[in-house]
């Protein structure tokens, strides 16, 4: 498939190569000064000033102005000091937008964030703004400095000033707009406190309910055209300035990549998945589980013990409505002339054997947990039998009482500690308007695939040769209500995408991270005798401090094998994005990858498999950003090694078993994130051993 990939990058080449600047050796009390580390000057300080005169021996400061007292002058070659040059170019852009933007500030990475008031305003309560971020970088795509222009969506500022808001919990404030700048409320300067009539709160989700402002609805449509339109509009309107262009030496247009030199695609065979066998024992192969699974069946049905007992947990008043509807759907399937769906036994090869005596009724959601806890502890169970609870949850997805919402987690945990699997279905999805939901056939394939995976079955598998590689996934999730970050790891798979177990612990605990990986490697070796490579998919850049105990662990095990770290980040909007200008939808073909730095890549992972693909609204995924590193120097000198690892990330996104829909994130990152969303609500610090061996969280 032919593509022309446009990146939201503007390369530039300033004409001035040497300029003279004045520097201070102490930090001035003014925000327009930039701190400059001596290393950014690439040794050009030598012979001009002694390093011991610099602040802390490392820092000097400049506002790039000639009018500085008590300063020393220095001529800097911008080509020889490219990182100092970025400070200077950032200063030029910052000063330009101080005059031209509605609001401007620099984020924690020194990127320039600008806001522009939208022309169309729909509310008397707030003002709507468009946000853009300008990030400067050196020779990632081109041979010189580059500007990444990203569209960050919209934000709202309350029209009531802080002076007009009385008796309010100020801890809820985060950003405050004052004149044309943004400030953190807790660090707000004293002069603003004396002028609160001109200070206005930025509307975070924490603030919106207090001012009766609705949350923004998530946008599941194709975002690519909207983002490109806004970025192009910003570039033409605000960057197409003659003075700015002359100072920085760029064209006000985005950069088109060289198809042959910078853009690659994964192997076509990497889309293939294996399912069940035909009458000759040959595996069926397909690419779309949504269509293929029904025809080809599971790669492996639920393994022994084959006795599986199902039972229901439900609120008493829903027994004849939502509970009966779920039972009928699983037992008989969905009856429809155009969109029928088979029974569970036909779809996932798992009989629906009910243990009616094990059913648990509760009167209200407030009494549910105590009733269920007592019932499962006293439950009579057969030997060599798996038990699966079908929990019909009466709590609405719009419930505001967090106590009621959290009961789901408590029930999930108590079942895990009793070695009972569970599947939760919202009652409101099952029974609507006095009858079973007419659209529940859209839920059934996802529910039943998850049931199969929880029971230990393999719905589908990557079609690739087996190797003795171990892939470990580490992900994270920040719990706003719990104010903690948890990590699910080691989430272990072989190279075929088959799950091998996991553990869960706090992200700050590097020792636990190393320990869980040690256990994973030891178990893998016990079965496979020898691991040839350890690949860690990490949710963020892994530090030397975090990597060191992992390497010590492998050394203790006597393993002298390559350790490869693949950092997998969701780009969302504040990063580099590519657009295929030959496609109406603008989304590049699935499996396209672009090198955007030293061992850095964008991977487009979506359902645009070919020209005829028509992705659903939720499947217009933005690209993933991958960063590759290794314990072995020069490991990626051969481009084929990097391509193989990128290919693996792509394939692991196909192993998501909570639904039949394609995901953007690989399960090595997605599964730990899902566990970490639930784990903070559990009572016990240690995850039940039973919970480490199955996919209960799907």
At 362 the pLDDT is 96
Confirm whether 582 is domain-assigned: no
Q: Which two tokens stand for residue 95?
A: 């000063």
Confirm whether 69 is domain-assigned: yes
**Residues 82 and 221 grouped into a single domain:** yes
**Residues 429 and 480 grouped into a single domain:** no
| Total of domains in the chain | 3
582-640 residue pLDDT tens: 999 999 999 999 999 899 999 998 888 877 777 877 788 899 999 998 888 999 999 89
Domain boundary among 173, 204, 229: 229
At 401 the pLDDT is 86
**Residues 84 and 192 grouped into a single domain:** yes
At 694 the pLDDT is 87
Task: Classify residue 431 by burial, with Cβ atoms within 10 Å: 0-12, 13-18, 19+.
Answer: buried
Q: How many helices (H) and strands (E) does the chain have?
A: 16, 34
According to DSSP, the residues that pair with 218 across neighbouring strands are none
Do residues 447 and 423 make contact, with C-beta atoms less than 8 angstroms apart? yes
C-alpha to C-alpha distance for 164 and 176, rounded to whole angstroms: 14
* Mean pLDDT of the region 333-343: 86
At 521 the pLDDT is 65
* Mean pLDDT of the region 343-361: 95
**Residues 51 and 197 grouped into a single domain:** yes
pLDDT at 466 > cutoff 90: no
As a residue count, the chain comes to 698
At 259 the pLDDT is 59
Domain boundary among 421, 454, 487: 454
At 185 the pLDDT is 94
At 134 the pLDDT is 96
**Residues 317 and 369 grouped into a single domain:** yes
Q: Which two tokens stand for residue 240?
A: 């197409």
| Nearby residues of 320 by Cβ (< 8 Å), 6 or more positions away | none
Confirm whether 238 is domain-assigned: no
**Residues 536 and 450 grouped into a single domain:** no
Confirm whether 158 is domain-assigned: yes
**Residues 373 and 506 grouped into a single domain:** no
DSSP H or E run through 297: none
Confirm whether 325 is domain-assigned: yes
Domain boundary among 402, 427, 454: 454
**Residues 478 and 449 grouped into a single domain:** no
- CATH number, domain at 439? 3.40.50.2300
21-77 residue pLDDT tens: 999 988 887 777 889 999 999 888 888 888 888 888 899 999 888 777 788 988 999
pLDDT at 162 > cutoff 70: yes
Highest mean pLDDT (candidates 32-46, 342-356, 466-480): 342-356
What is the residue range of 549's domain?
A: 468-570+640-682
**Residues 20 and 54 grouped into a single domain:** yes
663-684 residue pLDDT tens: 889 998 888 888 878 888 888 8
- Pick from 688, 603, 286: nearest CA to 463: 286
pLDDT at 483 > cutoff 70: no
CB atoms near residue 333 (< 10 Å): 18
**Residues 507 and 432 grouped into a single domain:** no
Q: Which two tokens stand for residue 683?
A: 């009572």
- Pick from 549, 546, 584: nearest CA to 567: 546
**Residues 438 and 473 grouped into a single domain:** no
Confirm whether 2 is domain-assigned: no
Confirm whether 619 is domain-assigned: no
**Residues 450 and 477 grouped into a single domain:** no
At 511 the pLDDT is 63
- CATH number, domain at 541? 3.30.420.10
Confirm whether 146 is domain-assigned: yes
Range with lowest mean pLDDT among 170-174, 243-247, 525-529: 525-529
Measuring CA to CA, how many Å separate 597 from each of 138, 175, 231, 567? 9, 33, 22, 14
Phi, psi angle pair for 502, to nearest 5°: -160, 175
At 101 the pLDDT is 93
How many Å is the maximal CA-CA distance in the chain?
88
pLDDT at 429 > cutoff 80: yes
């Amino acid at each position: 498939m032919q593509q022309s990939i446009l990146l939201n990058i503007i390369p530039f080449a300033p004409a001035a190569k040497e300029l003279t600047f004045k520097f201070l050796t102490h930090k001035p009390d003014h925000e327009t000064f930039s701190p400059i580390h001596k290393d950014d000057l690439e040794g050009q300080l030598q012979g001009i000033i002694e390093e011991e005169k610099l602040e802390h021996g490392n820092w000097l400061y400049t506002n790039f102005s000639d009018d500085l007292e008590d300063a020393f002058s220095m001529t800097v070659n911008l080509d020889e000091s490219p990182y100092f040059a970025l400070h200077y170019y950032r200063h030029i852009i910052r000063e330009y937008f101080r005059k031209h933007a509605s609001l401007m500030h620099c984020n924690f990475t020194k990127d320039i964030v600008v806001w522009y008031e939208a022309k169309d305003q729909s509310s008397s309560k707030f003002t709507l703004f468009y946000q853009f971020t300008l990030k400067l970088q050196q020779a990632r795509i081109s041979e010189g400095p580059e500007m990444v222009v990203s569209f960050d969506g919209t934000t709202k500022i309350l029209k009531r000033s802080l002076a007009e808001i009385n008796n309010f919990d100020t801890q809820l404030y985060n950003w405050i707009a004052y004149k044309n700048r943004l400030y953190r409320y807790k660090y707000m300067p004293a002069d603003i406190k004396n002028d609160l009539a001109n200070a206005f709160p930025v509307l975070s989700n924490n603030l919106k309910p207090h001012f009766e402002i609705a949350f923004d609805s998530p946008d599941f449509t194709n975002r690519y055209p909207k983002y490109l339109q806004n970025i192009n509009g910003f570039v033409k309107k605000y960057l197409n300035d003659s003075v700015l262009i002359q100072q920085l030496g760029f064209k006000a247009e985005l950069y088109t990549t060289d198809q042959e030199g910078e853009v690659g695609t994964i192997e076509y065979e990497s889309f293939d998945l294996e399912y069940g066998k035909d009458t000759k024992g040959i595996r069926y192969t397909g690419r779309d589980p949504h269509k293929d699974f029904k025809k080809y069946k599971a790669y492996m049905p639920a393994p022994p013990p084959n006795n599986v007992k199902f039972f229901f947990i439900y609120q008493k008043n829903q027994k004849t409505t939502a509970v009966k509807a779920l039972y009928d759907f699983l037992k008989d399937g969905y009856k429809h002339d155009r969109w029928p769906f088979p029974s569970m036994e036909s779809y996932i090869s798992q009989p629906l054997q009910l243990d009616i005596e094990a059913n648990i009724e509760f009167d209200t959601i407030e009494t549910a947990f105590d009733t269920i806890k007592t019932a499962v502890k006293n439950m009579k169970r057969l030997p060599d039998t798996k038990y699966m609870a079908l929990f019909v949850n009466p709590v609405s997805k719009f419930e505001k009482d967090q106590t009621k919402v959290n009961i789901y987690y408590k029930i999930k945990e108590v079942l895990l500690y009793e070695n009972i699997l569970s599947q939760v279905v919202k009652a409101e999805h099952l029974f609507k308007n006095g009858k079973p939901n007419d659209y529940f056939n859209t839920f059934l394939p996802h529910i039943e695939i998850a049931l199969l995976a929880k029971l230990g079955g393999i719905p589908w598998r990557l079609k690739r040769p087996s190797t003795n590689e171990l892939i470990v996934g580490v992900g994270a999730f920040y719990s706003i209500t719990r104010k903690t970050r948890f990590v699910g790891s080691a989430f272990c798979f072989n190279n075929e995408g088959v799950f091998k177990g996991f553990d869960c612990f706090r992200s700050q605990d590097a020792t636990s991270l190393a320990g869980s990986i040690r256990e994973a490697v030891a178990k893998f070796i016990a079965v496979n005798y020898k691991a040839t490579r350890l690949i860690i998919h990490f949710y963020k850049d892994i530090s030397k401090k975090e990597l060191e105990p992992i390497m010590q662990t492998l050394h203790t095990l006597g393993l002298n094998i390559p350790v490869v770290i693949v950092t997998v980040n969701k780009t969302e909007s504040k990063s580099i994005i590519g657009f295929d200008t030959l496609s109406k939808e603008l989304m590049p073909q699935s499996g396209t990858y672009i090198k955007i730095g030293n061992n850095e890549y964008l991977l487009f992972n979506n359902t645009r498999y070919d020209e005829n693909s028509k992705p659903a609204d939720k499947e217009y995924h933005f690209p993933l950003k991958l960063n590759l590193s290794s314990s072995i120097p020069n490991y990626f000198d051969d481009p084929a090694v990097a391509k193989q690892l990128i290919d693996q990330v792509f394939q692991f996104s196909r192993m998501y078993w909570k639904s039949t829909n394609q995901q953007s994130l690989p399960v090595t990152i997605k599964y730990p994130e899902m566990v970490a969303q639930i784990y903070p609500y559990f009572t016990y610090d240690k995850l039940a051993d039973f919970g480490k061996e199955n996919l209960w969280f799907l």
